[in-house]
Structure 1
Amino acid sequence: MSLLMAFSIVLVVLAIGDIVSTRTKAWVPSVFVAALLFLFGFWTFFPQDIVAIAGFQKPIIYLSMYLLITHMGTLLTVKELISQWKTITIALMGIVGICALTLTVGRALFGWETVVVATPPLTGGIVAAIIMSEAATSLGIEKLAVLAIITYVMQGFVGYPLTALMLKKEGKRLLKGFRSGELKAAEETTASIPSTTKKKLVPVTPEKYATTYVILAKLGITAWAAVGFANLIKPVVNISPFVMCLFFGVIAQELGFVEQRPLNLSSSFGFLITGLMAFVFAGLAKATPAMLATIALPLAGIIVLGVSGMAILSMFVGKKLGYTKEMSFAVALTALYGFPPNYILTEEASKALAETDEENKFLMDEMLPKMLVGGFTTVTIVSVIIAGIFVNLL
C-alpha cells in the first residue's frame, strides 16, 4: 500500500465518522464510528501498520502530543485550574469507584490476577496498559498480557457513546439557562476579566510578526522547556512530560509568551489532531477476533463493573460538590479515553446543540475545561500511579 493510498483510507474513515456524527447530531460520536470502521478494516484488508504507512509515525505523533497538550494548557488560566478542584476530586472518585467494584465483585467472578491486570488500563492510558501487559508477560501469563492491551483498546467503545449522551444532556441544561438569561450574566462577567484587568508580563507580539512560524516557534520552545524541566526534576519527583506541557502551557499563556489557542492561530490544529486520532485507532490492530474470543467474558465483565462503580461514586460525590450527575459522570468517563477524544466529544456535543457561535462558545467554555482537567487527572497522572501499585499485587 502506498503512502497516499494509506493516507486517503485513514482520512476517509475519519471523515465518515464526522459525517455520521453530523447527521445524527452527535448522538453517534465520530470517534465511535471511526473505531468500528478501523476494527473492521484490520479484520479484513487493512495492513496492520496502515497508520504508520500513512505517515503518522511515532516521531510526528509525539511532536503532535507535546504541541497539542501545551496548546490545551493555553486554554486554562491558573485561576481556572484552581477553580477546577471539584473536577479533580470527581475524577479521582471515579477511579476509586472503578477499583472498588473490580477488586471486590470482579475478583469473585474472574479471579485476582485478572482484575489486577485489567483494572489499571481501565483507569487511564496506554502507559498503564503497557506496564500491566509487560508484568503479566514476565510472569508467563500471556492471556492476561493480551487482556491488558485489549481492555485499553476496547474501553472507548463504552466511553464514547456514554460521554456523548452525558454531554448532550448537560449541554441542553446549560443552554436552557443561557437562553433564559440565568447563566448569561455570569459568563459575560468572567469573560471580561482577563481582557480588561490582566496585564501580561511579556508584551503581545505585533500582528504583522504573528506568523505561523513565530507562533509555532514559541509553542515549541514552551513544550521543549516543559519536557526539559520534567527530566531535570525526575530524580526528585517523576512527573509525566505531558503533564508538565499542560502546566507550562498555562504558565506561558499567563505570562503572555504564548497566545491563547496558538495552534488555531497558526492553522495547525486540524492536521496535528488528525494524526493523533489516527494513531489512537492504530491500537485496534491488536484486537484480533481470536484474541477477543478468549477474553471476551472477563473483558466485558470488568469494563461493566468498572464503569458502574465509576458512575455511582462520581455522581454521588459530584452531587455533593454541586455538579450535575451528567457532568460528573462525563468527567469520570474521561478515564476511558483521555485526550484528544475528550476534546472532540465536547466539541461535537457543543456544535450539535448550539444554534449560534455565541452559544457554542458558551458550551465549550463551560464543559471543556472540566473535561480536559478530568482527562489529565485520570489518564496522564493517576493511571500510571495505579499501575505502579497494582504491579506489586501480582
Structure 2
Amino acid sequence: MSQMLALVIVLLILFIGDFVAVRTKAWVPSVFICAILFLIGYWTFFPQDIVSIAGVPPVVATMVMYLIIVNMGTLLSVKELIRQWKTIVISLSGILGIVAVLFGIGTLIFDLETILVAIPPLVGGMVSALIMSEGAANAGLTSLSVFAIVIYVMQGFAGYPLTSIFLKKEGKKLLDQYRNGQLEKKDDSHSSAAEGMTELKLFKNLPGKYNTEYFTFFRIAVVAFFAYLVSTILAPVVSINAFVLCLLFGVIAKSIGFLEKHPLQKANGFGLAIMLLMLFIFDGLKNATPNMMMDILYPLVVCIILAVIGMYIFSFIVGRVLKVSKEMAFAVSLTALYGFPADYIITNEVVNSLTKDEKEKEALLSHMLPPMLVGGFISVTIVSVILAGVFVQLL
C-alpha cells in the first residue's frame, strides 16, 4: 500500500467519525466510529502498520505528545480557576470517587494492572489513554495496551447521556427560577479581557514580524526539552514522567511570558497535531483480535460502571457540603469521561432544548457552562496526565 493511499484511507475514517458525531449531535462519539472502522480494517485488508505507512511512526507521535501537553499547560487560567474553586473541588471529588471505588471494589474483581491501566483514561482523554497504552505495551501487557484505548473510545457512551439528563434537570430548575425573578444572568465583566490575548513578557521588545510560526514551535520545543531534561536528571532520585513535567512547565512558561496562551493554535499547528495523535491512538488497535475484544468487554463495562458510581457518590457528598445541587455536581464530575469540546457541545444542546428565548439561554449558559468547562479542564487536562504519569510507573 502506498503512503498516499494509506493517508487517504485513515483521514477518511477520521472524517466519517466527525460526520457521524455532528449528525447525531455528539450522542455517537466520533472516536467510537473511528475505532470500529479501524478494527474492521485491521481485521480485513489494512496492513498492520498502516498508520506508520501514512506518515505517523511512533517517534512522530511522541514528539506531538510533548508539544500538545506543553500547549495544554498554557491553557490554565489561574483567575478563572480561583473563581470556580467549588467546581474544582467537586471535579477532584469525582476523580477521587473513581480511584476509591476502582481500587476498593475493582481490585476484588480484576488484577491490579487492569485497574491501574483503566483509571487514567477514565479520568481523562486521549493523552492519558496513550500514556497508559504505551506503558502497558512496554511492560508486555498487550491486551491491557488495547484496553486503555478501548476505554477511551467507549466511556463517552456513559458520560454523554448521563450528563444530558442531569443538566436538563438542573436547567429546568434554573429556568423556573429565572422566570420567577429569582435568578439573574451572571456578570462575567470582571474577567480580564487580556487573559486570552498573547502576552510574551520575555519578548516584549521583539518586533511582531519575527514572532513567526517557527519561533512559536521553537519555544514550545524548548519547554518540552527542559521537561524531558529535568525528568532524566531526577530519574535516579525520583521517577517523574516527562509528560507530567511538560504540563507543569507549560503553566510556568505561560505565567512568565515565555509562551502565549494556546501557542499551537497561534502557530496554526493544533489541528495537525491532534490529527497525528488521534491516528497514533487508533494505531494501538492493530493488536486487537476479535477474541481479545471479547476478553476485555467484561472489565470494560464493569470499570465504567464502577467509575460512574464512584463519581456520583463522592460528588453528591461534596456538592451537598458546598451547597451545589446534586445534578450540577454530578454533571461536573462526569466531564472527566469526555472533556472539551463535548462538555461545551452538550451544555449548549441542553440549553437550546429548554428554551428558544435568547436572554433565557444566556442566563442558563452563564450559570452552567463555566463550571462544565472548568470541570473538564481540571480532570482531562491536569489530573489525568498526572495520574497517568504516576500509574504508568507502577506497571
Contact map agreement 2:167 2:327 (CA 8 A) in 1: no
Q: 1:220 and 1:369, CA in 2 relative to 1: closer, same or farther beyond 3 A?
A: farther
Match of 1:379 in 2: 384
Q: What one-letter code is carried by the residue in structure 1 that aligns with 2:385?
A: T
Contact map agreement 1:87 1:374 (CA 8 A) in 2: no
User: Could you say what secondary structure the match of 2:28 adopts?
Assistant: coil
Alignment of 1:22-37 (within 5 A): 22-37=22-37
- 1:152 paired with 2:148, answer yes
CA distance in 1, matches of 2:233, 2:98: 34
CA distance in 1, matches of 2:83, 2:229: 28
CA distance in 2, matches of 1:74, 1:170: 31
User: Could you say what secondary structure the match of 1:213 adopts?
Assistant: helix
- Name the stretch that deviates more: 79-88 or 115-124: 79-88
Shift of 1:268: 0.8
Q: 1:285 and 1:207, CA in 2 relative to 1: closer, same or farther beyond 3 A?
A: same
User: Could you say what secondary structure the match of 1:342 adopts?
Assistant: coil
CA distance in 2, matches of 1:234, 1:291: 35
Match of 1:142 in 2: none
Alignment of 1:331-350 (within 5 A): 332=333, 342-346=339-343, 348-349=345-346
CA distance in 2, matches of 1:365, 1:194: 15
- Name the stretch that deviates more: 278-287 or 87-96: 87-96
Match of 2:125 in 1: none
Contact map agreement 2:311 2:330 (CA 8 A) in 1: yes
Contact map agreement 1:118 1:302 (CA 8 A) in 2: no
Match of 1:123 in 2: 119
Contact map agreement 2:200 2:260 (CA 8 A) in 1: no
Match of 2:279 in 1: 278
Match of 2:160 in 1: 164
Q: 1:18 and 1:200, CA in 2 relative to 1: closer, same or farther beyond 3 A?
A: same
Shift of 1:222: 2.0
Q: What one-letter code is carried by the residue in structure 2 that aligns with 1:244?
A: L
Q: 1:166 and 1:277, CA in 2 relative to 1: closer, same or farther beyond 3 A?
A: farther
Aligned residues: 369
Contact map agreement 1:343 1:368 (CA 8 A) in 2: yes
Contact map agreement 1:130 1:148 (CA 8 A) in 2: no
Q: What are structure 2's unaligned runs of at least 5 residues?
A: 121-127, 353-357
Contact map agreement 1:129 1:152 (CA 8 A) in 2: yes
Q: 1:325 and 1:284, CA in 2 relative to 1: closer, same or farther beyond 3 A?
A: farther
Shift of 1:286: 2.4
Q: Please give the per-residue CA displacement for 1:295-321, whole angstroms capped at 9, x wherever unaligned.
A: 543443344334333333244334534
Q: What one-letter code is carried by the residue in structure 1 that aligns with 2:42?
A: F
Q: 1:319 and 1:20, CA in 2 relative to 1: closer, same or farther beyond 3 A?
A: farther
Match of 1:141 in 2: none
Contact map agreement 2:94 2:314 (CA 8 A) in 1: yes
CA distance in 2, matches of 1:147, 1:286: 8
Match of 1:140 in 2: none
Q: What one-letter code is carried by the residue in structure 1 that aligns with 2:119?
A: T
CA distance in 2, matches of 1:152, 1:49: 19
Q: 1:248 and 1:34, CA in 2 relative to 1: closer, same or farther beyond 3 A?
A: same
- Name the stretch that deviates more: 207-216 or 321-330: 321-330
Contact map agreement 1:78 1:251 (CA 8 A) in 2: no
Q: What one-letter code is carried by the residue in structure 2 that aligns with 1:118?
A: T
- TM-score, normalised relative to structure 2: 0.76
Q: Please give the per-residue CA displacement for 1:159-201, whole angstroms capped at 9, x wherever unaligned.
A: 2233334565687768988x9994441x2211337489x9945
Q: Please give the per-residue CA displacement for 1:10-60, whole angstroms capped at 9, x wherever unaligned.
A: 111111111112222222222222222222222222222221221111221
CA distance in 2, matches of 1:249, 1:306: 29
Q: What are structure 1's unaligned runs of at least 5 residues?
A: 138-144
Contact map agreement 1:97 1:309 (CA 8 A) in 2: yes
Contact map agreement 2:135 2:145 (CA 8 A) in 1: no
Contact map agreement 2:100 2:310 (CA 8 A) in 1: yes
Q: 1:55 and 1:131, CA in 2 relative to 1: closer, same or farther beyond 3 A?
A: closer
Contact map agreement 2:134 2:145 (CA 8 A) in 1: yes
Q: What one-letter code is carried by the residue in structure 2 that aligns with 1:259?
A: E
Match of 2:63 in 1: 63
Alignment of 1:359-374 (within 5 A): 367-374=372-379
Contact map agreement 1:310 1:332 (CA 8 A) in 2: yes
